[in-house]
């Protein structure tokens, strides 16, 4: 097949295909912006000087302080995760139509390889358009936003640029990644001339093995700090990699575990619940338990990180409080710094990233949910025609979504918090001797009077455990569930249009 | 329905292939096996048997001639079996001539009759066909129906169904043709 | 006595008229075939009679009550208690087993799980597909699926069964077997049947035939209400 033919076939398609291509391109655009922004932050050179020397050309502390830049870049990269998940979910948009088109190509004599290439090219081209526009937006935005203020300081790092290979890697790498993942997804289906069939494989019911992955994740986080202390010589980089891998394992564990949760929830519902709505939901859950995993992957990842962030915040808050108490105990009551450690500033940023991630994941959820309803519209319309109230169908969808997602979100919050908690550990204070000022600060600081008023006191070693930040954890979990609830509500609105009885007219 | 008449001699040879029978039993076997067929008269059965006997295709094994023809039993001979096999292995020419009275009548009605007469005929013919179709369907779906009944009814239903479809298509086709010519 | 009555039904899809004034009575236990060429309004008439669609004009009465003015909820209730609906294909819920599919209308009516399952098994047995009870539709043949759908339509012992080309997706023999069972069971229960089909052979299962053409009833059955075209040939 010539390149031109291939391109022509890749660009053929109806309005749903156009919507999918547009969403793919948009996701690629957003991911490019996030990636390039993260790389720009990392491209800021550390000024000469000690560890704390700041890049004075920026107004923003997040960019100025070298200690914060890692977190800033991490938060930006974090944003790319739900964006990519959105891309994955929008890939399923209009899938039945595309499957029919691919089957028609096979019927016309195309080989399976050619069909895969057509699909890859469609995704790849869409992503390339997205990344190119993203690059243009980035470069254009850089010029527009390069506005030094009166002090010559910049709000954004518009004075540095990632290396050209790095930019090329993002711009070209994302489309290649998108095309490769399409090929990978198509490996799981067989495109025959008569239609696209999912290869049988995941027919066995899910088992609770993903719990092991979660255990590994928590263990890796728990071992990180002791390992760092034990292997003083080893670079912290390795510890960071261990931690990241652990985090990844935990996310995968939660996402895959959702399959088992769905299955178990479906089984329990089927066993104990009555009523047709529950029955429909239960059978759908046991019938395809992995669909919940696919649908909620991005959301659960965001929630897990949100739970971890809550643990970190609790740790830093406790640290700050102890510092203040120590200051007060030492008589420096007046000095409390700017009231917030810069760690807490980074935490604000990560929380913001989690919030945006949940929002994007929710958008992806809506896409998947509506797609699911649309693809079942004939069955739903037939049910309504036989007198099943739309409310029953709506309720069944609600139960089907909520039954696995409630335990899954709780699990994600719990695992995230556990990882954060075991990684940060307890806050240790005291265990040293300290000068204590028994008079006014002036008297203590005057070398003449100093010895009379300053005493040495042994501060006892105290290990304090950060409180469980119930409020914030509830906020993360509840927020995610609320988002799901709103999404299902919106999805069910589509039900009315899709159970219109015109769907039943003989096909 | 299909062309031609059923070959009664071959039919009787076929029925005799299942075993020796009296003339009376042969007539009964015919009526059960072919329930919707044109009824076969006793006279016709005996006349045909006589000819078959003459040609050596069947043999009469009835010992007591005095007891009358009803006592005579008939058996298929070797020659008779050969003739039957030959008949069975020769294919029926699929509709060599379109020679159904229905076909002829509809064509003539459309051709020569005045509009009202043609309409009246067609409507009545359709009604008759539909009623017969319903009758046969009732017969076939009755709990007491045997396989022989169902097979025979199926054959008739398929042909009536074909007639009705043809009638509908023809009228639609003529209407289309008419519309084209007059528009 | 009539139990389902239609008076002057008119229904359009956008500018296209589907029904242009249909008047029809269906008595208790009566089996009526609605036939006609494609696009004549057969399915639309069935949907209006079953309360699935509301006519633009005219009225549908169920035992003397105007059905077309009822709310969607009330019509839904009627459809799942007094009516049964059967389509060409695709009405079974893919995720539910045959027994659960058949039990669904009973569950909706508030019957307990166990009682509903027992009734469903009885009906599957009656339609000769007892072996499919715990099988999902995807793993059944077309004939088995349609038998299950028939069982589901009849399980509530409805007063009227609406069947839209119920054998359309089946081969001749299977279609006949399904239809024979359907008609036999309907007669046993004294259920009226509205049978939409375009095949004379299938319409012959009914007591009476109503032919539609271009949205009106064609009393000649041959579209001869319009001037007979062939006379001058």
Q: What pLDDT, in 10s, does the model give residues B59-85?
A: 887 665 555 556 788 888 999 899 888
pLDDT value at position A350? 79
Which residues of chain C lie closer than 8 angstroms to A502, CB-CB? 13
pLDDT value at position A499? 67
**Inter-chain touch B126–C222, beta carbons under 8 Å:** yes
Which of C209, C226, C228 faces B118 most closely, judged by CB atoms?
A: C228
Residues 6+ away with beta carbon under 8 Å from A220: A242, A243, A245, A246, A247, A249
* A140 pLDDT more than 70: yes
Which whole number is the average pLDDT over C152-175?
A: 90
Signed CA dihedral, A298, A299, A300, A301: sign only: positive
How many CB atoms within 10 Å of residue A50?
A: 5
**Inter-chain touch C108–A392, beta carbons under 8 Å:** yes
- H, E, C per residue of A298-360: HHHHHHHHHHHHHHHHHHHHHHHHHHHHHHHHCCCCCCCCCCCCHHHHHHHHHHHHHHHHHHH
Token pair 């375009």: residue: C198
If one compares A454 and C139, the residue with the highest pLDDT of the two is C139
Rounded to the nearest integer, the mean pLDDT of chain A is 79
Paired strand residues for A27: none
Partner C contacted by B114 (CB < 8 A) = yes
**Inter-chain touch C226–B175, beta carbons under 8 Å:** yes
* C205 pLDDT more than 90: yes
If one compares B125 and B98, the residue with the highest pLDDT of the two is B125
Q: For residues A64 and A55, is the Cβ–Cβ distance under 8 A? A: yes
User: Rounded to whole angstroms, how far apart are CA atoms B113 and B125?
Assistant: 15
Which residues of chain C lie closer than 8 angstroms to B141, CB-CB? 180, 183-184, 205
Counting CB pairs under 8 A, whether chains B and C reach 3 or more, is yes
**Inter-chain touch C37–B172, beta carbons under 8 Å:** yes
pLDDT value at position C133? 92
Burial A167-176 (b: 16+ CB within 10 A, else e): beebbeebbe
What tens digit of pLDDT does each residue of B99-122 get? 678 888 888 887 777 777 777 888
Q: List the single residue in C with minimal CA-CA distance to A277.
A: C108
**Inter-chain touch C85–A386, beta carbons under 8 Å:** yes
pLDDT band at C61 (very low <50, low <70, confident <90, very high): very high
A neighbours by CB contacts (3+ pairs under 8 Å): C
* A410 pLDDT more than 90: yes
| Contacts across the A-C interface (CB distance below 8 Å) | 85
pLDDT value at position C160? 94
C neighbours by CB contacts (3+ pairs under 8 Å): A, B
If one compares B179 and A366, the residue with the highest pLDDT of the two is A366
- H, E, C per residue of A116-136: HHHHHHHHHHHHHHHHHHHHH
* Residues recorded for chain B: 183
pLDDT band at A234 (very low <50, low <70, confident <90, very high): low
What tens digit of pLDDT does each residue of A283-335 get? 888 888 888 887 888 888 889 988 988 988 888 888 888 877 777 766 655 55
pLDDT band at C90 (very low <50, low <70, confident <90, very high): low
Which residues of chain A lie closer than 8 angstroms to C43, CB-CB? 504-506
Which whole number is the average pLDDT over A29-49?
A: 82
Question: Which three-class secondary structure state does DSSP give residue C199?
Answer: coil
Which whole number is the average pLDDT over C44-54?
A: 89
- What ipTM was estimated for this complex? 0.80
Residues 6+ away with beta carbon under 8 Å from C161: C83, C84, C85, C86, C153, C154, C182, C186, C191, C192, C193, C194
Q: For residues A25 and A130, is the Cβ–Cβ distance under 8 A? A: yes
Q: For residues A69 and A43, is the Cβ–Cβ distance under 8 A? A: no
pLDDT band at C91 (very low <50, low <70, confident <90, very high): confident
CA A482 to chain centre: 17
Q: For residues B82 and B95, is the Cβ–Cβ distance under 8 A? A: no
pLDDT value at position A237? 65
* A495 pLDDT more than 90: no
User: Rounded to whole angstroms, how far apart are CA atoms B12 and A301?
Assistant: 84
Q: Record the tokens describing residue C201, joined without a space.
A: 């052979």
**Inter-chain touch C43–A274, beta carbons under 8 Å:** no
Which residues of chain B lie closer than 8 angstroms to C199, CB-CB? 161
Which residues in A419-482 belong to E strands, given as ranges?
A: 427-429, 432-437, 454-459, 462-464
Which whole number is the average pLDDT over A483-503?
A: 78
pLDDT value at position B4? 47
If one compares C163 and A234, the residue with the highest pLDDT of the two is C163
Q: List the single residue in A with minimal CA-CA distance to C196.
A: A506
A373, A403, A405, A406: which is closest to A283 by C-alpha?
Answer: A403
pLDDT value at position A12? 65
pLDDT band at C231 (very low <50, low <70, confident <90, very high): very low
Judging by beta carbons within 10 Å of its beta carbon (0-12, 13-18, 19+), is residue C225 exposed, middle or buried?
middle
B neighbours by CB contacts (3+ pairs under 8 Å): C
Q: What are phi and psi of B113, to 5 degrees?
A: -70, 155
Q: Record the tokens describing residue B11, joined without a space.
A: 């039919």
Which residue of A271, A385, A389, A394 to mutate against C (max C Cβ within 10 Å)?
A: A385
What tens digit of pLDDT does each residue of A286-296 get? 888 888 887 88
pLDDT value at position A496? 74
Which residues of chain A lie closer than 8 angstroms to C94, CB-CB? 287, 379
Residues 6+ away with beta carbon under 8 Å from B51: B9
> Could you tell me the pTM of the whole model?
0.71
Worst-scoring range by mean pLDDT, A118-127, A164-173, A339-348, C115-124?
A339-348
Partner C contacted by B172 (CB < 8 A) = yes
DSSP structural state of residue B143: T
* A235 pLDDT more than 70: no
Q: How many CA atoms lie within 13 A of A402 on its CB side?
A: 16
**Inter-chain touch B110–C223, beta carbons under 8 Å:** no
If one compares A431 and A425, the residue with the highest pLDDT of the two is A425
pLDDT value at position A14? 62
Q: What percent of chain B has pLDDT over 90?
A: 10
pLDDT value at position C6? 93
What tens digit of pLDDT does each residue of A147-174 get? 887 777 777 788 888 888 888 888 898 8
């Amino acid at each position: 097949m010539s390149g031109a033919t291939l391109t022509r076939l890749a660009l053929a398609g109806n309005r749903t295909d156009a919507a999918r291509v547009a969403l793919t391109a948009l996701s690629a655009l957003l991911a490019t912006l996030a990636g390039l922004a993260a790389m720009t932050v990392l491209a800021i050179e550390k000024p000469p000087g000690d560890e704390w020397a700041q890049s004075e050309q920026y107004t923003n502390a997040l960019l100025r302080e070298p200690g914060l830049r890692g977190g800033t870049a991490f938060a930006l990269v974090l944003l790319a995760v739900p964006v990519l998940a959105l891309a994955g979910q929008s890939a399923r948009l209009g899938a039945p139509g595309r499957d029919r088109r691919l089957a028609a190509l096979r019927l016309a004599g195309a080989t399976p390889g050619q069909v895969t290439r057509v699909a890859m090219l469609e995704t790849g081209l869409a992503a390339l358009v997205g990344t190119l526009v993203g690059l243009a937006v980035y470069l254009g935005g850089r010029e527009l936003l390069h506005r030094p203020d009166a002090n010559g300081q910049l709000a954004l790092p518009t004075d540095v640029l990632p290396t050209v290979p790095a930019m090329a890697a993002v711009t070209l790498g994302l489309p290649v990644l998108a095309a490769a993942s399409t090929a990978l997804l198509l490996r799981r289906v067989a495109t025959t001339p008569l239609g696209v069939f999912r290869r049988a494989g995941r027919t066995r019911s899910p088992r609770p093995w993903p719990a092991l992955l979660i255990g590994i994740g928590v263990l890796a986080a728990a071992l990180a700090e002791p390992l760092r202390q034990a292997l003083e010589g080893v670079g912290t980089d390795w510890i960071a990699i261990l931690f990241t891998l652990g985090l990844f394992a935990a996310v995968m564990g939660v996402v895959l575990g959702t399959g088992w949760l769905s299955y178990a929830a479906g089984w329990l519902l089927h066993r104990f619940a009555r009523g047709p709505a529950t029955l429909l939901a239960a059978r759908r859950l046991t019938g395809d338990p992995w669909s919940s995993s696919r649908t909620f992957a991005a959301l659960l990842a965001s929630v897990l990180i949100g739970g971890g962030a809550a643990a970190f915040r609790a740790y830093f808050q406790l640290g700050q409080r102890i510092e203040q108490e120590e200051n007060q105990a030492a008589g420096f009551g007046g000095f409390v710094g700017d009231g917030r450690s810069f760690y807490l500033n980074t935490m604000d940023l990560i929380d913001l990233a989690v919030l945006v991630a949940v929002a994007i994941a929710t958008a992806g959820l809506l896409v998947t949910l509506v797609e699911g309803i649309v693809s079942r519209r004939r069955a739903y319309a037939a049910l309504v025609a036989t007198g099943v109230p739309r409310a029953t169908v709506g309720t069944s969808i609600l139960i089907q979504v909520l039954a696995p997602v409630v335990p899954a979100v709780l699990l994600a919050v719990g695992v995230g918090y556990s990882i954060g908690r075991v990684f940060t550990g307890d806050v240790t204070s005291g265990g040293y001797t300290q000068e204590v000022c028994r008079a006014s600060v002036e008297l203590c600081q005057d070398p003449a009077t100093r010895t009379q008023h300053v005493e040495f006191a042994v501060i006892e070693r105290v290990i304090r455990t950060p409180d469980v930040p119930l409020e914030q954890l509830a906020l993360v979990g509840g927020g995610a569930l609320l988002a799901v609830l709103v999404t299902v509500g919106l999805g069910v609105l589509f039900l009315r249009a899709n159970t219109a009885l015109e769907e039943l007219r003989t096909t | 329905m299909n062309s031609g008449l059923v070959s009664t001699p071959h039919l009787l040879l076929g029925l005799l292939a299942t075993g020796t029978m009296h003339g009376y039993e042969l007539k009964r076997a015919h009526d059960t096996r072919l329930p919707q067929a044109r009824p076969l008269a006793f006279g016709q059965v005996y006349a045909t048997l006589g000819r078959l006997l003459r040609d050596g295709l069947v043999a009469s094994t009835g010992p007591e001639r005095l007891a009358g023809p009803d006592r005579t039993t008939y058996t298929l001979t070797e020659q008779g079996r050969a003739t039957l096999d030959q008949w069975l292995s020769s294919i029926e020419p699929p509709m060599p001539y379109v020679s159904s009275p229905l076909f002829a009548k509809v064509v003539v009605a459309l051709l020569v009759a005045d509009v009202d007469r043609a309409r009246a005929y067609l409507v009545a013919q359709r009604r008759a066909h539909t009623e017969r179709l319903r009758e046969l369907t009732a017969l076939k779906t009755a709990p007491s129906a045997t396989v022989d009944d169902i097979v025979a009814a199926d054959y008739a239903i398929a042909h009536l169904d074909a007639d009705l479809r043809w009638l509908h298509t023809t009228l639609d086709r003529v209407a289309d043709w008419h519309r084209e010519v007059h528009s | 006595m009539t139990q389902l009555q239609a008076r002057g039904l008119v229904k359009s899809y956008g500018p296209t008229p589907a029904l242009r004034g249909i008047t029809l009575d269906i008595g208790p236990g009566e089996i009526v075939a609605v036939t006609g060429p494609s696009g004549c309004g057969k399915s639309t008439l069935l949907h209006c009679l079953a309360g699935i669609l509301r006519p633009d004009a005219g009225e549908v009465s169920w035992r003397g009550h105007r059905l077309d003015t009822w709310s969607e909820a009330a019509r839904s209730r009627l459809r799942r208690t007094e009516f049964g609906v059967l389509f060409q294909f695709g009405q079974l819920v893919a995720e539910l087993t045959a027994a659960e599919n058949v039990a669904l209308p009973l569950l909706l009516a508030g019957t307990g799980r166990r009682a509903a399952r027992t009734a469903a098994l009885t009906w599957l047995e009656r339609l000769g597909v007892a072996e499919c009870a715990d099988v999902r539709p995807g793993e059944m043949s077309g004939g088995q699926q349609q038998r299950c759908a028939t069982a589901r339509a009849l399980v509530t012992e409805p007063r009227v069964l609406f069947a839209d080309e119920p054998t359309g997706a089946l081969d001749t023999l299977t279609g006949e077997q399904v239809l024979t069972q359907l008609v036999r069971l309907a007669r046993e229960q004294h259920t009226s049947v509205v049978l939409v089909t375009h095949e004379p052979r299938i319409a012959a299962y009914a007591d009476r035939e109503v032919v539609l053409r271009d949205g009106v009833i064609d009393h000649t059955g041959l579209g001869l209400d319009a001037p007979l075209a062939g006379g001058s040939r």
